[in-house]
Amino acid sequence: MIDCGEGAQLSFMRHRLSFRRLRHIFLTHLHGDHVFGLPGLIGTIALNGTGGDLTIHTFQDGAEQLSSIFKYFCRDTPFDIRFNIIKPEEKVILETKSLTVRTIPLDHRVPAVGYVFEEKAGDRHIRPDMTRFHEVPLYMMKRIKAGEDFIKPDGTVIPNDILTSPPSPPLSYAHISDTAYMKNLAAKIGPVSLLFHETTYLEEHKSLAAPRGHSTARQAAMVARDAGAKALLTGHYSSRYKDDSLFKKEALEIFPNVILNNEGLVTVIK
């Protein structure tokens, strides 16, 4: 989960998401609209009796303030709350067997970071017809998926590319929350599968964006274009606008694949 605004636990229940699957919360910065939902969410998870542990990735002062809140309002949780202290820097902050997560410093009124989630390359795909034809034993399948050739009992070598097909391309997602437009940001993000970039303002109010640490839809589209992203997801719209479709219209002038974000949207990453 990235950020946790007010009513987050209600949204979880409304959209039938599983509290048990939530193990990491990544906070971009410490403004209230991005963190005020945490006490309610933690309390709801505790009431559900979910065990295990929950890691919150945040700045040092965020960990200190949130710890005090949790100690008072969320006592006796059946799970451990851990804090991974981050800084506004370019750094890998989490790595698993299948995923890496790195931070990118942003330009906001308080210290802020964006997150880039990148899948690691997976195993090759077994071709069942060929493994059956060459009588590859079951115990060899894991090694074949990892790229090993198969040697038959008579010494015949069956090349791996006959037994498998290439792995699926790894997916990636960048989440760029509150920030003024940064010309060097695209190079730091890279060619991700999907880029969420805040679009608080339209270009007609560009003069308000930078002083308040925000971007326009056009600027977000420029970042998506320059990063080589496959798709741009808009969001974080100012309440001054009554027609959200204007953000997509403006971004499409610069970038061809724009998704208009709204509550409950499910986006397929390709």
Give the pLDDT confidence of 95-134 residue by residue, as tens digits.
999 999 999 999 999 999 999 999 999 999 999 999 999 9
Under CATH, which number does the domain 88-122+168-270 receive?
3.60.15.10
- Residue 161 CA to residue 49 CA, distance in Å, equals 48
Residue 186, SS3 per DSSP:
helix
Query: What residue spans define the domains of the chain?
Result: 1-86, 88-122+168-270, 125-165
> Could you tell me which residues come within 8 angstroms of residue 129 by beta carbon, excluding any fewer than 6 positions away?
none
The residues annotated with a catalytic role in the active site are: 33
Each residue of 36-65: pLDDT tens digit?
Answer: 999 999 888 888 776 678 999 999 999 999
What backbone phi and psi angles, to 5 degrees, belong to 205? Answer: -115, 30
pTM over 0.85: yes
DSSP string, 59-108: -HHHHHHHHHHHHHHSTT-SSEEEEEE--SS-EEEEE-SSEEEEEEE--S
